[in-house]
Amino acid sequence: MSQLLNNAHDFSIADLSVQNVSGDVNNYINNYNNRSSGKSALERLEENISAGAVHNSDERCDAPKCHPETRVAVQDEIISWITAGDVDEKPKKILWLTGPAGSGKTAIAGSVAEACSEKGILAASFFFSSFSGSEDRRSKRCFVSTLAYQLRRHPSLSAFDQHILSTIDHDPTVFRTRLNDQLEELILKPLRQVHNQIGAPTVPKVIIIDGVDECEATNPFNRPMEEEEAKSIKEKDQLEILSLLLRAANDPCFPFRIVAVSRPERIISTFFSNAAESTLKLFLDDSYDPDSDIERFLQSKFAEIRRRYFLPPSWPTLDQIRTLVSNASGQFIYAATVIRFIEERSKLPQVQLDTVLSLGQHSNASNPFQALDALYTHILKSCPDPRSTIQCLHICQNTTFGAVPASILRQYVDTTPGETEHLLGCLPSLVFLDRV
């Protein structure tokens, strides 16, 4: 059979039927079909990655990063573990960075990824986002292939590149296999084949995965799902990703450390508790002095506002800043929302700050988000039609699109032209509304 196709070109075969096909002939036909499709292995790989999930993607151009001179201690601890963790008494290859919503996890992950990239020690990254307009950043589908694509591009892993492309040439359908099989074929097997060719001083050191808890349920047939079913599939997918990372870390030919970032959701916490011997937990609590970082952030942002509006250096007072720090209860999301609210051009910054402070001082250990709740409530009540605005936000929250394109949102909301802008345009400190 193979001799019949030697040197043949510019032809097609219709209604081909082959009986008692041996493995060799079957492989030949598969490889021939792959070549005749006109797509190279690299093109197939590029079609199956989530470019927006990489740390320096254009999609993440406005993603949160640590303000200069903030979160220094926790960043130093993570980078020290990445670069020198092998000398620990009991070295562990996975670090789980966790903490409550608003504690700055994604900002820290982004800043650490940037620092590692500049040092040449970042092997790959993947930033999940449940708010992304790209489905591939909200699901597991392109997770392994995106990591593999980045590994092949690192200068010290050029030999790895040849093996991964050869794998795709041999089996172009590898992207539709289980994640565990993708890990084996696209990452672990190529690493084993080049293990002796990788120079230790130049090999990158870390893979950073952010937002594991934001990986949503896969729904390949786009069928309606009940909430409980979606939750079950979501948790299963998240566990699949974590199990995948643990398997990779335990492979002797896998040279990278892994930083996994997520909220302490029950199922994720249980996973890391069961894998405690192989993982290191870093929880963002008061030991990292978030109050000092938040105060430094506020001081810097207020300085920018003063310059923009030619305000006196006495504004705001130190007491006002410390009240805001106290209200934040260690949550960066509160400080960031306050600044966005004050920067709104609908009113003077002094008036906006006074409004925030007039909501009262809230510092409650049992509810660290009390001040944030009060601020959100005030912003919503300031809308021209709060009830309709909340209904509009519910549509955004419950849609299957993730980050909802404004054109689609208008189809749901607008009874008259401009209604969406009218309802959400008063929320620039909470909602980004594109004008497309």
The mean pLDDT of the chain is: 83
As a whole number of angstroms, the distance between CA 386 and CA 421 comes to 13
Q: Token pair for residue 52?
A: 């927006």
Whether 430 is covered by a domain: the verdict is no
Write out pLDDT tens, residues 77-102: 999 999 988 777 788 999 999 998 88
What is the structure's pLDDT at 260? 98
- One domain, residues 112 and 219: yes
Write out pLDDT tens, residues 142-152: 999 999 999 99
Three-state SS at 221: coil
Average pLDDT of the residues in 339-348:
87
- One domain, residues 317 and 228: no
Average pLDDT of the residues in 334-346:
88
- One domain, residues 352 and 254: no
Lowest mean pLDDT among 61-70, 115-124, 281-290, 312-321: 61-70
Sheet containing strand 94-98, edge to edge, reads: 122-127, 206-210, 257-262, 94-98, 279-283
DSSP 41-98: HHHHHHHTS-GGGSTT-GGGTT---PPTTSSHHHHHHHHHHHHHGGGSSS--SEEEEE
Residue 232, CB-side half-sphere exposure with 13 Å CA sphere? 5
What is the structure's pLDDT at 5? 52
User: Looking at per-residue confidence, does 392 or 134 come out higher?
Assistant: 134
- One domain, residues 199 and 295: no
Q: Tell whether the model's pLDDT for residue 255 goes beyond 90.
A: yes
Of the pLDDT bands very low, low, confident and very high (cuts 50, 70, 90), residue 26 is very low
Whichever domain contains 122, its CATH number is 3.40.50.300
Lowest mean pLDDT among 51-55, 93-97, 344-348, 430-434: 430-434
- Of 258, 288, 318, the last residue of a domain is 288
**Which of these, 338, 365, 288, 373, lies nearest to 103 by C-alpha position?**
288
Q: Tell whether the model's pLDDT for residue 10 goes beyond 70.
A: no
Whether 222 is covered by a domain: the verdict is yes
- Of 288, 316, 346, the last residue of a domain is 288
Q: 103-113 as b/e, with b when 16 or more CB fall inside 10 Å?
A: bbbbbbbbbbb
- One domain, residues 90 and 206: yes
Of the pLDDT bands very low, low, confident and very high (cuts 50, 70, 90), residue 16 is very low
- One domain, residues 30 and 77: no
Whether 241 is covered by a domain: the verdict is yes
Three-state SS at 329: coil
- One domain, residues 192 and 241: yes
Structural domains counted in the chain: 3
Write out pLDDT tens, residues 395-425: 666 654 455 555 556 665 556 676 666 666 5
Write out pLDDT tens, residues 204-247: 999 999 999 999 988 776 778 888 888 999 999 999 999 999 99
- One domain, residues 75 and 191: yes
Whether 335 is covered by a domain: the verdict is yes
Average pLDDT of the residues in 34-55:
86
As a whole number of angstroms, the distance between CA 31 and CA 19 comes to 18
- One domain, residues 192 and 260: yes
Q: Token pair for residue 85?
A: 């963790």
Of the pLDDT bands very low, low, confident and very high (cuts 50, 70, 90), residue 14 is very low
- One domain, residues 414 and 352: yes
Whether 180 is covered by a domain: the verdict is yes
Which residues span the domain enclosing 15?
3-38
Q: 353-368 as b/e, with b when 16 or more CB fall inside 10 Å?
A: bebbbeeeebeeeeeb
DSSP 254-274: ---EEEEEE---HHHHHHHHH
- Of 263, 288, 313, the last residue of a domain is 288
What is the structure's pLDDT at 98? 95
Is the distance from CB of 215 to CB of 91 less than 8 angstroms?
no
Is the distance from CB of 100 to CB of 138 less than 8 angstroms?
no
User: Looking at per-residue confidence, does 262 or 199 come out higher?
Assistant: 262
Report the share of the chain in percent with pLDDT over 90: 51
What is the structure's pLDDT at 265? 94
Write out pLDDT tens, residues 153-204: 998 888 899 999 999 999 999 999 999 999 999 999 999 998 877 766 678 9
Is the distance from CB of 128 to CB of 214 less than 8 angstroms?
yes
- One domain, residues 389 and 251: no
Whether 432 is covered by a domain: the verdict is no
DSSP 128-195: --TT-S-GGGTSSTTHHHHHHHHHHHSGGGHHHHHHHHHHHHH-GGGGGS-HHHHHIIIIIHHHHHTG
Three-state SS at 281: strand
Is the distance from CB of 144 to CB of 179 less than 8 angstroms?
yes
What is the structure's pLDDT at 409? 60
**CA 65, 66, 72, 73 torsion-angle sign:** negative
- One domain, residues 66 and 206: yes
Q: Tell whether the model's pLDDT for residue 1 goes beyond 50.
A: no
Strand-pairing partners, residue 94, are 258, 279
Q: Token pair for residue 410?
A: 């208008």
- What pTM does this model have? 0.74
**Which of these, 354, 348, 347, 366, lies nearest to 323 by C-alpha position?**
354
- Cα 390 to the center of its chain, rounded Å: 27
As a whole number of angstroms, the distance between CA 312 and CA 324 comes to 19
User: Beta-carbon neighbour count of residue 272 at 10 Å?
Assistant: 20
Of the pLDDT bands very low, low, confident and very high (cuts 50, 70, 90), residue 388 is confident
What is the structure's pLDDT at 114? 96
User: Helices (H) and strands (E) in the chain — how many of each?
Assistant: 18, 5
Whether 114 is covered by a domain: the verdict is yes
Quick one: which H or E segment has residue 123? strand 122-127
Q: Tell whether the model's pLDDT for residue 33 goes beyond 60.
A: no
Whether 433 is covered by a domain: the verdict is no
